[in-house]
Amino acid sequence: MVTTIQLHDISKSFRKKTVIEDINIEVKSGQIYGIIGPSGAGKTTIVKTIVGMDQTETGTVTVLGKRMPNLEVLQSIGYMAQSDALYEELTGAENLAFFASLFKLKKVEQKSRIAYAAGLVNLTEQLTKKVSAYSGGMKRRLSLAIALIQDPQILILDEPTVGIDPELRMTIWNELLRLKNEEQKTILITTHVMDEAEKCDHLAMIRNGRILTEGSPAELKTHYEADNLEAVFLKAGGIEV
């Protein structure tokens, strides 16, 4: 497998407070890499450095062999932020069409990708409604559809299933696994949900801006002699369970 995302010794502070420190991450094609940790642990900051939204104070961030930030590389990244960045006065369809137009897609391809993405997140029947009328869960689903719109080589998803019902969450995860296995996509996902962490190939557990431990779910449970990943997280942080 080819390394597609690499973070080497990155650190960042905000108002003299260290947000992330000495982060080293390597993600390969055909892999789902999970960053696991509580709110405020630094997960979103790591994601933002990968897509070039935040500059690091130390270290390097490389995506597809190029230093970030890099506008050309962004054409290959599907990014879903933790906060929905949608045009509320446009319909769901208009939002999808707008974001599709930012990428090098032909009209026919745009139409097929919009249909695929909307269908995956179960929004096809809601596309004519203005986004201002969407529930929070529907907005999350639309944001995920937008991340998939250009058939990206790399998917970076920040808490993608928050507010999504269990049945649809299962559908989305089945598709992520298909994209990994059949199309060798690189998928980096942040979550605090441990059953989602079990579906990842490799995990980095983070707290207070530092990686506590990393490895596959099976490796981590064996190493920490734990029955589940929640116990691994606690033990890695020095808490006996």
Domain boundaries, the chain: 1-76+153-241, 84-152
Segments of 38-180 assigned E as strands: 58-63, 66-67, 77-80, 154-158
Q: What are phi and psi of 26, to 5 degrees?
A: -135, 120
- For the entire predicted model, the pTM comes to 0.93
Please check the confidence at residue 240 and state whether its pLDDT lies above 90.
no
Q: Which strands form 17-28's sheet, in the order they lie side by side? A: 17-28, 3-14, 58-63, 66-67
Please check the confidence at residue 241 and state whether its pLDDT lies above 80.
no
- Note the pLDDT of residue 8: 97
More confident residue, 200 or 83: 200
- Note the pLDDT of residue 104: 80
List C-alpha distances in Å: 82 to 158, 193, 233. Answer: 5, 15, 22
The closest alpha carbon to 25, from 198, 196, 189, belongs to 189
Q: Taking residues 116-122, report their average pLDDT.
A: 95
| pLDDT band, very low/low/confident/very high, at 212 (cuts 50, 70, 90) | very high
Query: Three-class SS of residue 82?
Result: coil
- Note the pLDDT of residue 94: 97
Q: Taking residues 121-132, report their average pLDDT.
A: 96
- Note the pLDDT of residue 163: 83
Please check the confidence at residue 238 and state whether its pLDDT lies above 80.
yes
11's enclosing H/E stretch is strand 3-14
130 secondary structure, DSSP code: B
CATH 3.40.50.300 for the 1-76+153-241 domain, yes or no: yes
